[in-house]
Copies of this chain bind each other. A is one copy, B any other.
Amino acid sequence: MNKYLISCFSAAIYLTLALSPFQSFARSEYWNQRVSLFDKLPITSADIVFLGNSITDGGEFAELFNDENIKNRGINSDEISGVKERLSQITSGNPKKIFLLIGINDISHNLSVDEIAKRYDSLVKEIKEQTPSTKLYIQSIMPINNDYGRYKNLQGKESIVLKVNERLKSIADENNATFIDLFPALSDREGKLKREYTNDGLHLLGNGYKAWANHIKEYVIE
Contacts and interface: CB of A to CB of B under 8 A. Distances in A.
A219 interface: no
Nearest to A63: B41
Contact of A38 (B34, B36, B37, B206): B206
Contacts of A150: 29
Interface stretch (A1-9, A54-62, A184-192): A54-62
Given A29-B203, A30-B203, A40 B210 contact: yes
A199 interface: yes
Interface string A10-42: 000000000010110000011011111111110
Nearest to A68: B68
A206 to B, nearest CB: 4
Contacts of A60: 37, 41, 71-72
Contacts of A38: 206
A158 B97 CA distance: 45
A60 B58 CA distance: 12
For the complex of A and B, the 4 pairs showing the least CB-CB separation, nearest first, are: A68-B68, A36-B206, A37-B206, A40-B206
Given A37-B58, A37-B60, A40-B206, 20 more contacts: A29-B199, A29-B203, A30-B58, A32-B199, A32-B205, A33-B200, A33-B203, A33-B204, A35-B206, A36-B207, A37-B59, A37-B205, A37-B209, A40-B64, A40-B207, A40-B209, A41-B63, A60-B71, A62-B62, A62-B68
